Structure 1
Amino acid sequence: MTKIAPYGSWTSPIGATDAAASDGAPGWSDVIDGELWWVESRPAEGGRLSLLRSRPGSAVEEVLPEPWNCRNRVHEYGGRPWTVVIAGGIRRLAFTNWQDQRVYLHEPDVASTPVPLSQEPDRPHGVRYADLRPGPRAEEIWCVRETVTGDRRTDVRRELVALPFDGPQRVLVASHHFMTAPRLSPDGAHAAWLGWDHPAMPWDGTELCVAEVRADGTFGPPRVLAGGPEISVCQVEWESPGTLLALLDPDGWWNLHRLTLDGEIRNLAPCAEELGGALWKIGSRWFASLGDGRHAVLRAGRLAMLDEHAGTVRDVEAAAGVPVWAPSLTADGGSIVGVAAGPHREAAVLRVNPGSGELFEIISSAPPVPAEYLPTPAERTFTAPDGQTIPAYLFPPSNPEFAAPEGEAPPLLVHAHGGPTNRASPALDLEIAFFTSRGFAVVAVNYGGSTGYGRAFRERLREQWGVVDVADCATVAEALAAEGAADPKRLAIRGGSAGGWTSAAALTSVRTFRCGTVLYPILDLTGWTGEGGETHDFESRYLDGLVGSLPEHAERYRERSPVNHIDRLAGPVLMLQGLEDEICPPEQAERFVTALAGRGIEHAYLAFEGEQHGFRRAETIVAALEAELSFYGQVFGFDVPGVPVLELAR
């Protein structure tokens, strides 16, 4: 029998521990000699990244068990952390280890222990490596090396380097302040890579560079084949000794192009579609070529096939149930391998054959709950006051055991994604299901500035961060309340990182939201700059585009910063922060909480040891989710059984 209970107070089989376990998603997948390899997060093991492989006819094998952590700190977000080099019939795995940031070598086919390839740095984490690639010699890898040169978070130098297995490292090139690792041409004669400099972010403008590879392994002078200040190249791969394939956006959309070493560029299938994405992690792959003019691409996250002869881009029907793919595509014969998820399906390593229509699941961390407790997201479009469209995904309350009293509308959580140059998706997220199965509605908003909708949509946020994103989130919340899909008196906003900024900015600038949860946020724009010293090098000039350049826009930085407007808070706030966060450091949250004390506004601040940017440990995820649920129950006035009561200060 269906029980009648207020929205938000329903009991659910989806616990915070289930949501924490589901954070063990796979990534960085690839195919090596017919074997599928990938990394996988282990929340129950401190959030480390393990490396696994699946061999035909064999069980899944853990290549790097504890204590190894296949992860790195380059750009603080990390980049591709492993590669395999084959020489003389011997396979050697090269990988980065989080604990000391060194590169290690391991022979996975024999009983052996990884040994360090790179030297121990003079200071902890003082030298980092990422985007590991095989070099031209049988016993050498190429990668990005990041060296800490001083005590400020922005004191960093980067070079593209070769790491021979039997000799000293050598610098290949340092063409830009930021670079991806070089890709070697099939004949070994040239290398190609991407580079960009401050104040640009990689989705603003990058350059595709090539250089001759000399007989002694050094590079000749680099030259730029494509890209520029207003053209972003997000991926490049060699097609033949004289041609490359690259995703770039000269027409405002990341499309696939063929380039020759002579400088000719041709769009293989012109379309107003995003086939690339924001290069947050170097080594990401949005396309993979299958030959005969056929290329697997990600069409705003969906798997699609680009046919250059027909000039078309069409979704792969076999993958219709998994519309959200990570940028880690690999071609294996006529099949495509990657990591994908769907509305009722958590991220899994999949193999798809577009020709036969077959889809094979290699490995999955399937949801531990029946599908009837999972929300089915509805893709919605709202209209901003200026007429711009606002895409969003609405996740309704879903629990077969409960119904709300007649006439009651559910509390609504507006989820602001991070980035902000990123996007929300309809993929299953048990953190969202944790709330929807208890009677909350959740809407994930792709506010102006999000990816997947072209450069013009991304640039709606140019110098408007804290304005457009806030207005779009408020517009969506108010529209859902007006149509009866949400209780107008129980609207909350939540988000982490840039989403934490949007949440805090909304709570201090509009009156739409009753309360908010702010995770590892930016709260003080002036501090969160290279000169302010409170963020890392990669994003230290991000605000030039999002807010405006300094010093001429210094007043704008002060006026938009939530830390300066605590007196305007619309309601209670829950602050969650990792104490080892180098991207949005705890100084930001701590200043805000200190200024809030004694003002009579209910609030709580939970700080977590051992956590960086984004929570990885199971115990942290559980504590954060249960605290958030208790917070909403106290603010919105309903009981939330089964979770500890969060103590709120005033």
Structure 2
Amino acid sequence: MAVSSIATLTRHYSLCSSISPSSFWSSHSSLVTHITRTRKLLLTSKLSVRTRMSFTSPNSPPPQTQPSTVKQHTAPYGSWKSPITADVVSGSSKRLGGFSVDSVGHLFWLESRPTDSGRAVIVKEPGKSGEDPIDVTPKDFSVRTLAQEYGGGDFCISGDTLIFSNYKDQRLYKQSISSTDSAPLPLTPDYGGLSVCYADGVVDFQFNRYVTVREDQRESGINAITTIVSIDLSSNNAQEPRLLVGGNDFYASPRIDPKGERMAWIEWGHPNMPWDRSELWVGYISHNGDVQKRICVAGGDPTLVESPTEPQWSSQGSLYLKMGLGGSGLCCGRNCDNSWN
């Protein structure tokens, strides 16, 4: 259609160009104006068509393509290295883990840093607004436990004392949080490897000890022996933990009531996971620190599928927990006198 219009304009322009404008300007001024506009339109249209045809001409050489800089490689199944690395996915961002508060209300948290080979550091909130958070654990320590594969419960703060698991040797250490130059002191023996791990501990003020879950793989790397043990905090020397509760396959969440008279914990056995079927037990702490008079207060009925988790004592001595019943979760409390709240 554009070529046909140009041909028409060309014929009009050729006809009009043979007439001298001055001979009939006075009587045909409107025609002269029309001729002038036609000439401008013709020139513009020819330029536009010439430009468009230059891109579609069959005689034009094909466009030059740049050679690819990506090299193809063949690798065995499962060994291909993806350009999408863990750093790309995570953005090399910090990860925040557990948190705790000391006796005066200062906030502490666990911070994993990919830029520091994944080292996990206990960090304290700044003392004043505008200041940077304060690293508590030294640079040659990384706070992380390998207990029960999943880890968790890596540290605990009680008063002025920080207790944590060190990733390199899986030993327990204690450190003062008020002194900036305080070095961590080992609480547990060095077994020459990562065969013994600790997690999810609390402080027993009645006996000044640390009560925690221990996973021991020294006898068998497949079936670890899991128990609840205690470590004396009054000594600055590493010592062998004292056994408090054992006999089942797994233990978690040892919790001591405010008066230091009772301890609650979760236990379960193979092949169950804790959310499938578990039991909540309570034991009374004797005058020498042993756990006696143990009773199962939830999950012990074989006709019910129960999975109690996360026990916590209130300041009044009531025991609260999260109860899983047939896949659902409930929060409930118990006074340990067979009455539920």
TM-score (norm 2): 0.67
Q: Output aligned runs, 1:468-547, within 5 Å.
A: none
Superposed CA RMSD: 2.2
Whether the 8 Å CA contact 1:127–1:148 is kept in 2: the answer is yes
- Whole-angstrom distance in 1 between the partners of 2:272 and 2:263: 23
- Whole-angstrom distance in 2 between the partners of 1:15 and 1:148: 33
Aligned to 1:569: none
- Whole-angstrom distance in 2 between the partners of 1:37 and 1:98: 19
Aligned to 2:203: 134
Shift of 1:263: 2.0
Aligned in 2, Cα 1:216/1:16: closer, same or farther, shift over 3 Å?
Answer: closer
**Of the candidates 163, 167, 184, which is equivalent to residue 231 of structure 2?**
163
Shift of 1:77: 1.2
Partner secondary structure for residue 186 of structure 1: coil
Does 2:267 match 1:192?
no
The superposition leaves residues 407-466 of structure 1 with CA deviations (integer Å, 9 ceiling, x where unpaired) of xxxxxxxxxxxxxxxxxxxxxxxxxxxxxxxxxxxxxxxxxxxxxxxxxxxxxxxxxxxx
Partner secondary structure for residue 44 of structure 1: helix
Aligned to 1:249: 324
Shift of 1:38: 0.7
Aligned to 2:339: 264
Aligned to 2:10: none
- Whole-angstrom distance in 1 between the partners of 2:292 and 2:285: 6
Q: Output aligned runs, 1:108-127, within 5 Å.
A: 108-110=177-179, 111-121=181-191, 123-127=192-196
Identity of aligned residues (%): 29
- Whole-angstrom distance in 1 between the partners of 2:85 and 2:150: 28
- Whole-angstrom distance in 2 between the partners of 1:106 and 1:146: 23
Partner secondary structure for residue 255 of structure 1: strand
The superposition leaves residues 501-546 of structure 1 with CA deviations (integer Å, 9 ceiling, x where unpaired) of xxxxxxxxxxxxxxxxxxxxxxxxxxxxxxxxxxxxxxxxxxxxxx
Aligned to 1:52: 123
- Whole-angstrom distance in 2 between the partners of 1:199 and 1:251: 17
**Of the candidates 111, 125, 131, which is equivalent to residue 40 of structure 1?**
111
Aligned in 2, Cα 1:117/1:15: closer, same or farther, shift over 3 Å?
Answer: closer
The superposition leaves residues 482-503 of structure 1 with CA deviations (integer Å, 9 ceiling, x where unpaired) of xxxxxxxxxxxxxxxxxxxxxx
- Whole-angstrom distance in 2 between the partners of 1:237 and 1:250: 19
Whether the 8 Å CA contact 2:200–2:213 is kept in 1: the answer is yes
Whether the 8 Å CA contact 1:42–1:48 is kept in 2: the answer is yes
- Whole-angstrom distance in 2 between the partners of 1:51 and 1:238: 26
Aligned in 2, Cα 1:142/1:190: closer, same or farther, shift over 3 Å?
Answer: same
Partner secondary structure for residue 220 of structure 1: strand
Q: Which runs of 5+ in 2 are unaligned?
A: 1-83
Whether the 8 Å CA contact 1:132–1:144 is kept in 2: the answer is yes
Shift of 1:22: 4.4
Aligned to 2:250: 178
Whether the 8 Å CA contact 2:258–2:317 is kept in 1: the answer is no
Q: Which runs of 5+ in 1 are unaligned?
A: 1-13, 267-650
Relative to structure 2, which stretch is displaced further, 32-41 or 96-105? 32-41
Whether the 8 Å CA contact 1:245–1:258 is kept in 2: the answer is yes
- Whole-angstrom distance in 1 between the partners of 2:86 and 2:194: 32
Aligned in 2, Cα 1:204/1:74: closer, same or farther, shift over 3 Å?
Answer: same
Q: Which has the higher contact order (CA 8 A, sep 6+)?
A: 1
The superposition leaves residues 288-330 of structure 1 with CA deviations (integer Å, 9 ceiling, x where unpaired) of xxxxxxxxxxxxxxxxxxxxxxxxxxxxxxxxxxxxxxxxxxx
- Whole-angstrom distance in 2 between the partners of 1:16 and 1:209: 41
Whether the 8 Å CA contact 1:193–1:210 is kept in 2: the answer is yes
Aligned to 1:235: 310
Letter in 2 for 1:38: W
Does 2:222 match 1:154?
yes
Q: Output aligned runs, 1:573-592, within 5 Å.
A: none
Whether the 8 Å CA contact 1:27–1:38 is kept in 2: the answer is yes
Shift of 1:250: 2.5
Shift of 1:100: 0.3
Shift of 1:168: 4.7
Aligned in 2, Cα 1:139/1:188: closer, same or farther, shift over 3 Å?
Answer: closer
Shift of 1:251: 5.7
Shift of 1:175: 4.8
Aligned in 2, Cα 1:175/1:190: closer, same or farther, shift over 3 Å?
Answer: farther
Partner secondary structure for residue 193 of structure 2: coil
- Whole-angstrom distance in 1 between the partners of 2:215 and 2:208: 22
Partner secondary structure for residue 267 of structure 2: strand
Aligned to 1:76: 149
Aligned to 2:58: none
Shift of 1:28: 0.5
The superposition leaves residues 109-137 of structure 1 with CA deviations (integer Å, 9 ceiling, x where unpaired) of 1112111110011x411211111211134
Whether the 8 Å CA contact 1:21–1:44 is kept in 2: the answer is no
| Matched residue count | 247
- Whole-angstrom distance in 1 between the partners of 2:266 and 2:162: 25
Partner secondary structure for residue 306 of structure 2: coil
